Amino acid sequence: MTDRRRWRAIPLLVLCVLLLGGCAARSVTADREPVAARQVRVTTTTTMITDAVRRIGGDRVQVTGLMGPGVDPHLFKASARDVRSLRDADLILYGGLGLEGKMGDLLADLAARQPTAAVTDGIPRAALLTHPGSPEPDPHVWFDVALWEDCARTIADRLATLDPQHADVYRVNLDSYLAELSALDTEVRARIAAIPPAQRLLVTSHDAFAYFGRRYGIEVAAIQGISTAAEATTADVERVAELLASRRVPAAFIETSVPRRTVDALLAATAERGFGAHIGGELYTDSAGEPGTPEGTYPGMVRTNAELIASALGAPGREG
Ligand SMILES: [Zn+2]
């Protein structure tokens, strides 16, 4: 290196040291600042969890949701930016039960080094559904609103453990959320009960509604299994088409987070049996809708689904 180059390199080196030193100092200060004196940084996976953490955490939390509307959690892979957000979080909240199928190893690594919890941890194991051939319980618990109440309690507990000085804030917000969920549970039950009994069959592309069916009294059938990772076979399509045609159920449903081609194949197979079923609408299954729309929240997505299912399967319209 010539002298001139060396002299030029020194200020650059000093600048680098200053920048790095500055970053390190800032991050140490931020980490040492107790959470009680600032917002709690929470990183979440699905939109349903993000929405619940916003409700329960209120102004006390700064929530980063990794999965936006329409994102399929079974197939989601964390980017380098997502990993940074997870590492920077005071608390990580995810669905668990294998929902975030491609993030399992990452979440296990994070759990070993920082506060990390599955929101489904508080659900009694006996309340979980299992399906033949699947090693883990069905992760789609949010469609039973009573089970989602358990998830909400777990979220509030975790926030209060991390930020005990504001435990009363989380308690008040939780109570208000639980009251809303209880009313929602009653509303959904009434809408599904209004469907004529013979037509109480919910057909979707992937098997996300087993908890919904059990809680609200509607039989469910799906072309794919509980994960979207496995492709549907022709035999699956024929089996469900036979069910739709023989029961004369007027509609099957597509899903916001799953491509519609399997349901299109199903309706074609049903038509070959001489029965014309139609698409009853697009259900919000593994993700809520766009923020700012009625279905952009967890209660809104459940209400929208129940209304679509009820009206497409022949329930009389709501009064008023
Ligand atoms: Zn799913």
- Summarised one tens digit per residue, pLDDT across range 274-317 is 999 999 999 999 999 999 999 999 999 999 999 999 999 998 98
Q: Residue 70 region, left (φ>0) first, then alpha (ψ -120 to 50), else beta? A: left
Neighbours of ion ligand 1 (CB under 5 A): 208, 286
Domain boundaries, the chain: 35-188, 196-312
252 alpha carbon – ligand 1 mean position (Å): 17
Supply the pLDDT for residue 317: 83
Query: What architecture is the 35-188 domain classified under in CATH?
Result: 3-Layer(aba) Sandwich (3.40)
Pair 212, 144: CB distance under 8 Å: yes
- Cβ-contact 1, 13 below 8 angstroms: no
Cα(22) to centroid(ligand 1), Å: 44
The alpha carbon of 73 and the centre of ligand 1 are apart by a number of angstroms equal to 7
Find the 285 Cα to ligand 1 centroid distance in Å: 7
pLDDT at 30 (0 to 100): 52
What's the whole-number average pLDDT of the chain? 90
Quickly count: other Cβ atoms within 10 Å of residue 3's Cβ. 7
Domain at 196-312: CATH architecture:
3-Layer(aba) Sandwich (3.40)
Same fold for the pair 35-188 and 196-312 = yes
Per the listing, tokens 């349901």 go with 263
Distance 63 CA to ligand 1 centre (A): 23
Amino acid identity of 172? V
What does the alpha-carbon distance between residue 78 and residue 6 come to, in Å, rounded to a whole number? Answer: 42
State both tokens at 176: 């208000």
pLDDT (tens digit per residue) in 108-125: 999 999 999 999 999 999
Q: Is 94 helix (H, G, I), strand (E, B) or coil?
A: strand
Distance CA 273, CA 241 (A): 8
Contact 46, 95 (CB under 8 A): yes
Q: List, in order, residues 6 or more apart from 86 with CB less than 8 Å away.
A: 43, 66, 78, 92, 106, 110
CA of 182 to the centre of ligand 1 (A): 24
Residues 188, 190: Cα–Cα separation, whole Å: 5
Percentage of residues of the chain with pLDDT beyond 70: 89
Token look-up 């709501």 returns 318
Ligand 1 centroid from CA 75, angstroms: 10
CA of 226 to the centre of ligand 1 (A): 6
> For the segment 219-260, what is each residue's pLDDT rounded down to a tens digit?
999 998 877 777 788 999 999 999 999 999 999 999 987 888
Q: How far is the CA of 95 from the centre of ligand 1 (A)?
A: 11
